[in-house]
Amino acid sequence: MRFNSRNSAVPRPMTECVQCGDQLLLPEWSEYLATSCVRHLWKCEVCGYAFETTTVVYSSEVAAA
């Protein structure tokens, strides 16, 4: 994953297709597995490859506990 800061004050993470390398902006769908865990299904419009990623979000409140 890399960050794209073009046209934005805050860098945004960009996901790339693991098959062809094209940049993917939005997942096809997202599934919340837990309060801090999200699974995304990505599908590349260029090559049609589909894959999943899982994101765990850590907050300062959880880390302080």
Residues 6 or more apart from 54 whose CB is under 8 A from it? 33, 37, 38, 39, 40
pLDDT for the residue numbered 53: 93
Mean of pLDDT over the chain: 82
Q: Which of 12, 32, 24 is nearest to 49 (CA)?
A: 24
Q: How confident is the model at residue 60 (pLDDT cuts 50, 70, 90)?
A: low
* Domain spans, the chain: 2-64
pLDDT for the residue numbered 57: 83
Helices (H), the chain: 60-64
CA atoms within 13 A on the CB side of 39: 6
